[in-house]
């Protein structure tokens, strides 16, 4: 901290009040440097946080978070908020095991008023806080800070609609407009913000008027006209929709002009009713690599802070996302009915190549997971083969649509579930551990998980040929396996025996298949000889094979990277009970609690899921009759 002249003297936000404008300017620069220095080592959401440093300082100088409520949408833009609310020293532990979270978290600080890792919840939450304060006659303002990308989601407008109806005082929504969510924004609402400015009729009239003014009044008149134009654009272009919803619109404001931000917020506090403040910011502000290439800097792994290049292992295998994306392109080259749909996750889901090669068959619907599912269902009714690509954690938001709009109507839609299982440093809001459990309850659905690269390709090929609702889940990180060519259809519901043994049966799912084989090697050194099965279909299971194996193996071990409650192990337990078998069952997976952030290897060790831990537990399970078989 000795390198930071002003930041080193700041304990928390209360110290901001005594700083001069010059010191505040230095402080904002130092906060950016500190964020860059820390995230270059830890990784994180650097772009969004660099864009709102001045906005954060202004909020903390105008409002008091001990009384007022500031709700940051998602929270990955709130690094400077953490630094200025008593976590300056802790910030070095960002996203590290047992360190502070990369998102806002109510249990971490009393100043984190609402936690969220999924977008577009801030307006609803802040409105709830507002009405809670009103009912209890508590003092204070409530402020929601939401990005223009998050404003594409339906819940944001549900919150705006309700707020306009309730007409609350002391309620502010700050629209942080950086023209990006993760990927560049899409959609009619985003386009609306710029429609008047770019309209051809507007542009022609604008140019004619400029020419007339310049002839009549010369260059000074032209400059005055430009000033008036900026005023009119800010007043009428994006503001009408919010005014119609019952808000008073204020904007647009330069989000990097701290003095202007403060004055605006102070003035807004004198107004009544719900208010929208439209702030323009630059994602990655103050760090050239992030300014020039904002998409990868939305969320990035550790990087070289001089060049901005991610620090990657030499010769690393392709990611599961890339294997999926490449396979989908190959299949789409042969079948023009295949389309890809994603809710604002083109890059993360490995669909960049598909979007470039088949732009007319690629649909980024914005942060609209529910719409993505129903849109895919509609395409399916016309004979199109939609592939929905979600992160597991975001698929949760489209659950009703998967049930009601896809599965109930038996519409053939492929659901590619990326980031299944533990995801690491993003923590509890992003772990994809619930999809097996919540999908398994749905009729008319196939749920699968590949053991390696080639099997992912084969399952995608099978899914597209199946005519069924077909989910394929795969983890974050490097994909297993070496061969990656061609496609082969896999009989739906079939498992494969990888190693035959006796007495102990290991049924492994997805990324746990290689781990099951490694556990077998360890157990063989202790005199055991397990059978290992690749249970690539979670639903339907290979019940014919399972019955045969249960008849010849006393001990059954299940391994999965999902929640134990309602997961694959539960399905096996139900089968054993329903069929009257008496096999002993030991399940490995995610226990009934929220798992926090850290490297995946650290989290797995904490949960008892390393090869050594699984091996030792199986040995005790077999050797000690009284050992409790609780996963």
d(C-alpha 264, C-alpha 251), whole Å: 9
Catalytic residue among 262, 369, 425, 455: 369
Helix or strand holding residue 532 (H, E): strand 531-534
Catalytic residue among 95, 283, 468, 515: 283
For 467: left if phi > 0, alpha if psi spans -120 to 50, otherwise beta; the answer is left
Q: Is 369 a catalytic residue?
A: yes
Question: Widest CA span of the chain, in angstroms?
Answer: 99
Instruction: Supply 207's token pair.
Output: 């140019």
Q: Sign of dihedral through CA atoms 495, 499, 505, 510?
A: negative
Q: Determine the 3-state secondary structure of 565 from DSSP.
A: coil
Q: CA 142 to CA 587: how far, in whole Å?
A: 46
460: enclosing H helix or E strand: helix 453-466
- Report DSSP state, residue 319: B
CA dist., res. 481 & res. 627, Å (int)? 36
Please report the DSSP string for 158-191 in residue order: HHHHHHHHH--SSEEEEEEE-SBSSSBP-SHHHH
Query: Among this protein's residues, is 522 annotated catalytic?
Result: no
| Active-site position among 397, 451, 511, 617 | 397
Q: Rounded CA gap, 566 and 65, in Å? A: 40
Q: How far is CA 591 from CA 398, 438, 474, 506, in A?
A: 24, 15, 20, 19
Residues ≥6 apart with Cβ < 8 Å to 398: 343, 369, 370, 372, 373, 390
> Active-site residue 98, yes or no?
no
Contact between 444 and 498 under an 8 Å Cβ cutoff? The reply is no
The four Cα atoms 13, 18, 20, 24 give a dihedral, to 10 degrees, of: -10
618 exposed, middle or buried (CB, 10 Å; 0-12, 13-18, 19+)? Answer: buried
Active site residues: 283, 369, 397
């Amino acid at each position: 901290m000795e390198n930071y002249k002003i930041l080193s003297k700041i304990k928390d936000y209360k110290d901001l009040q005594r700083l001069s404008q010059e010191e505040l300017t230095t402080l904002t620069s130092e906060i950016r440097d500190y964020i860059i220095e820390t995230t270059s080592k830890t990784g994180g959401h650097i772009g969004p946080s660099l864009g709102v440093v001045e906005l954060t300082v202004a909020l903390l100088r105008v409002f008091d978070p001990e009384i007022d409520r500031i709700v940051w949408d998602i929270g990955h833009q709130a690094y400077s908020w953490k630094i200025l609310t008593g976590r300056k020293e802790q910030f070095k532990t960002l996203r590290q095991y047992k360190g502070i979270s990369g998102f806002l978290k109510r249990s971490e600080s009393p100043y984190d008023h609402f936690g969220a890792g999924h977008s577009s919840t801030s307006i609803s939450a802040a409105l709830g806080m507002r009405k809670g304060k009103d009912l209890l006659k508590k003092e204070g303002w409530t402020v929601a800070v939401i990005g223009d990308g998050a404003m594409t989601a339906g819940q944001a407008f549900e919150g705006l609609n309700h707020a306009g109806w309730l007409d609350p005082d002391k309620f502010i929504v700050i629209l942080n407009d950086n023209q990006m969510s993760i990927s560049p924004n899409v959609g009619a609402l985003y386009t609306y913000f710029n429609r008047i400015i770019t309209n051809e009729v507007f542009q022609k009239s604008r140019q004619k008027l400029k020419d007339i003014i310049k002839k009549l009044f010369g260059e000074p008149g032209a400059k005055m006209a430009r000033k008036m134009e900026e005023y009119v654009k800010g007043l009428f272009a994006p503001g009408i929709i919010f005014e119609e919803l019952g808000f008073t619109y204020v904007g647009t404001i330069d989000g990097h002009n701290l003095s202007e931000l403060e004055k605006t917020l102070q003035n807004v506090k004198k107004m009544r009713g719900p208010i929208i403040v439209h702030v323009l910011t630059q994602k990655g502000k103050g760090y050239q690599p992030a300014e020039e290439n904002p998409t990868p800097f939305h969320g990035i792994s550790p990087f070289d802070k001089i060049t901005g290049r991610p620090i990657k292992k030499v010769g690393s295998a392709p990611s599961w996302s890339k294997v999926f994306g490449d396979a989908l392109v190959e299949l789409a080259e042969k079948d023009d009915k295949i389309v890809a749909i994603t809710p604002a996750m083109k890059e993360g889901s490995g669909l960049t190549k598909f979007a470039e090669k088949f732009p007319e068959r690629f649909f980024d619907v914005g942060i609209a997971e529910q719409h993505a599912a129903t849109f895919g269902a509609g395409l399916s009714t016309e004979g199109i083969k939609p592939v929905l690509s979600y992160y597991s954690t975001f698929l949760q938001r489209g659950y009703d649509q998967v049930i009601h709009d896809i599965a109930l109507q038996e519409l053939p839609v492929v659901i590619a579930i990326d980031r299944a299982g533990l995801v690491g440093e993003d923590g509890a809001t992003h772990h994809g551990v619930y999809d097996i459990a919540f999908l398994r309850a749905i009729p008319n659905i196939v749920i699968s998980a590949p053991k390696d690269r080639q099997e992912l390709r084969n399952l995608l090929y099978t899914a597209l040929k199946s005519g069924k609702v077909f989910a394929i889940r795969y983890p974050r990180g490097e994909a297993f396996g070496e061969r990656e060519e061609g496609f082969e259809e896999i009989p739906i519901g079939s498992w494969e025996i990888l190693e035959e043994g006796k007495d102990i049966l290991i049924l492994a799912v997805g990324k746990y298949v290689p781990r099951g084989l490694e556990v077998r090697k360890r157990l063989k050194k202790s005199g055991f000889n397990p059978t290992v099965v690749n249970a690539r279909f979670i639903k339907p299971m290979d019940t014919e094979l399972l019955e045969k194996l249960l008849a010849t193996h006393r001990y059954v071990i299940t391994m999965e990277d999902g929640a134990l409650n309602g997961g694959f192990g539960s399905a096996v337990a139900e089968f054993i009970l329903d069929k009257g078998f008496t096999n002993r069952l030991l399940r490995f997976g995610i226990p009934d609690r929220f798992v926090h952030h850290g490297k995946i290897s650290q989290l797995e060790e904490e949960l008892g899921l390393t090869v050594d831990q699984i091996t030792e537990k199986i040995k005790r399970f077999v050797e000690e009759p009284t050992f409790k078989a609780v996963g």
